[in-house]
Amino acid sequence: MKFSALFTAPLAYMPFSTPATEKREKTAKTAPAPVKRSRSAKVKKPAELKPYRGISIVFEDCACEAVKKIGSKRFLLSDDDAPMLPLPACDAARCDCKYKHHDDRREEEHDRRFSSTLRTDLYEDSGKENRRAGKRRGRRKSDT
């Protein structure tokens, strides 16, 4: 036997003697077959949640007095101040009250921003000069 043959022939009793091609075949992972998706199955981004989402309680005429006291009051969802249903003081045999979700806790007819916006618009529509814009306001030079 030649001396060089000792280094090229695989030794069956040695764990590292398996040729590299056989190792690759044994350890190669098969990639899963690609899954075909329809266009409607594409992952959509979740809708951005509005910060002032609200919740109110919807109830029937035969509801308990505890729910009737709350009425149609809207609670801010992010504050977790909405009461759990059924209410602790509920005396109904079966509570049929449900939550109703709102995009905005504020009711449209009670929007507090409306009056100030209206006032500004009326002032600008009157034709008077807007004295706030353009001039630098502040202290007089003689005051310093």
Number of Cβ atoms within 10 Å of the Cβ of 75: 18
Domain boundaries of the chain, sorted by first residue: 54-108
Distances in Å between the Cα of 80 and the Cα atoms of 52, 55, 92 are: 12, 10, 24
pLDDT digits (tens, 9 = 90+) for 73-101: 989 888 878 889 989 999 888 888 999 98
The pTM of the full predicted model, rounded to 2 decimals, is 0.43
What share of the chain in percent tops pLDDT 70? 50
Rounded Cα gap, residues 84 and 71, in angstroms? 15
pLDDT for 18 = 56
**58 pLDDT exceeds 90?**
yes
Strand ranges for the chain from DSSP E: 54-58, 75-76, 98-102
The residues near 73 (Cβ < 8 Å, ≥ 6 apart) are 56
